[in-house]
Structure formats: structure tokens, C-alpha cells
Amino acid sequence: MAGRAVKLTISVPQSLLAVADEVAAEQKTSRSRVVAACLQELAEKRLQGKMRAGYKALAKDNLRFAGGSLAAARDVIIGPG
């Protein structure tokens, strides 16, 4: 996790706070680090989703380009028609 740490006040259900405290105790770390790690994981998943969507869009564009290129190559090799 990069960047300068800032203070944050949030409200969470007691059950989630209990989970954060359990994880913090298991990992011998602070509650803040547990919350930060969860947010980091969420940020990475969101980025992966955006990248996946971008790659799918590029794949569609590449397929259209390849189809056009194939038609142009066919016209050059065989001739129009």
C-alpha cells in the first residue's frame, strides 16, 4: 500500500468490526491495516474489471480490423470482385 496515511472516521456494523478485529489479531496487525488491505483488494478488483472490459473492447476492434484487412488483402492478391 503506497501513499501517505490519513485519518478516517467511518461507521460499520458491529459484526464487521468484530471480523476486522479477529483478522487483525490473527495477523498481528492493526484494525486500520486490515481495513486498508480490504480497500486495496477492492481497488485492485475494480481495476482488473476495467482492464477486462477494455481488453474485450479492443478485441472487438481488432476483429473488425482483421476482417477489413483480410478483405483488402484478398482484393490485392486475387483482385476485386
CA-to-CA distance for 65 and 81, rounded, in angstroms? 20
Please compute the mean of the pLDDT values over residues 23-28 and round it to a whole number: 98
3: in domain: no
4: in domain: no
Domain count within the chain: 1
What's the pLDDT band for 2 if we cut at 50, 70, 90? low
What's the pLDDT band for 80 if we cut at 50, 70, 90? low
- What Å distances lie between residue 59 and 25, 50, 62, 66, 70, CA to CA? 45, 14, 5, 10, 16
1: in domain: no
Selection from 7, 65, 66, 64 nearest residue 35 by Cα = 7
How does pLDDT run across 27-77, given as a tens digit for each residue? 999 999 999 999 999 999 999 999 988 888 888 888 888 877 777 777 778
64: in domain: yes
CB 30 within 8 A of CB 24: yes
Domain housing 51: 14-77
39: in domain: yes
